[in-house]
Amino acid sequence: MAEIITLKTAKMLAQNDIARLIDFTALRPEMTGEQIEKLCKEARQYHFYSVCINPYFIPLAKAFLADAEVKICTVVGFPLGATLSQVKVYEAKEAAKMGAQEIDMVINVSALKDKDYQKVLQEIRLVVRAVPGLLCKVILENCLLTDEEKKIACQIVLEAGAHFVKTSTGFDKGGATIADIRLMRKVVGNHLGIKAAGGIRDYKTALQMVKAGATRIGASQGIQIVEGSHL
């Protein structure tokens, strides 16, 4: 499994080599193979931590990144999180077979709001256990949750054995915020990584997220973030 970077190390990287914290993201439904090829080439050039892509493109990305350090991250239950648990498990298993190294799964927001915490816990646990050796991040979609729900969700992710909590899909009404990162870090302590995603388009914002407690940045504007760090 990929090493979970500590917050101390993340802060050092954010100052010196922020590319190594970035999941370079392309999840829009209209993405083409040509665009994914370009994404992979840029990921190699800028030494991003990973590319985060839809499952359909895993084989293509694997071909372009065969001899690169860049990892392949994909999404499960994306973007709503409302698919059946067994579907999420199947997605994760198939993604792993194709070559994905990290899984970003969307939490069942409805179950969380219905206070069916056992359902949320069991689903995350099933996905984590379905892909042993892969790093699993759980997307909370914070813009839809109260602060209390965010805290409960973080506690559930901890108990379920996943490796990261993630702020957002980037497809709903809000993305990562400093306040949310601080809240999540307070709940999970040093036990989980935190991925800030959604609306991060420049180095200043990315750096603020890391200072608040993020250890990974999900961004489609990865190049702008890295080039901004050199100004």
Cβ-proximal residues to 186 (8 Å cutoff; 6+ apart), any chain: none
The amino acid occupying position 123 is E
Considering the domain 7-228 in this protein, what is its CATH number? 3.20.20.70
Active site annotation includes 195: yes
Residue 28 class from Cβ within 10 Å (0-12 exposed, 13-18 middle, 19+ buried)?
exposed
Predicted confidence at residue 230, as pLDDT, reads: 78
Walk along the chain (231 residues) and give the pLDDT tens digit of each residue.
556 889 999 999 998 899 999 999 999 999 999 999 999 999 999 999 999 999 999 999 999 999 999 999 999 999 999 999 999 999 999 999 999 999 999 999 999 999 999 999 999 999 999 999 999 999 999 999 999 999 999 999 999 999 999 999 999 999 999 999 999 999 999 999 999 999 999 999 999 999 999 999 999 999 999 999 877
Cβ-proximal residues to 132 (8 Å cutoff; 6+ apart), any chain: none
- Read off φ and ψ for residue 13, nearest 5 degrees: -65, -35
Which one from 23, 104, 150, 180 is the annotated catalytic residue? 104
Neighbours of 146 (CB within 10 A): 10
Residue 167 class from Cβ within 10 Å (0-12 exposed, 13-18 middle, 19+ buried)?
buried
Predicted confidence at residue 20, as pLDDT, reads: 96
Active site annotation includes 8: no
pTM: 0.96
Predicted confidence at residue 1, as pLDDT, reads: 54
H-helix segments, the chain: 7-16, 33-46, 58-64, 85-98, 109-113, 117-130, 147-160, 178-188, 203-212, 222-228
Predicted confidence at residue 229, as pLDDT, reads: 87
Predicted confidence at residue 77, as pLDDT, reads: 98
Q: Where are the domains of the chain?
A: 7-228
Which residue, 147, 77, 155, 144, is CA-closest to 117? 155
153: which DSSP letter? H
Beta pairing partners, 138 = 105, 165
Which one from 88, 137, 150, 166 is the annotated catalytic residue? 166
- Roughly what angle, to the nearest 10 degrees, separates helices 7-16 and 203-212? 160
Active site annotation includes 166: yes
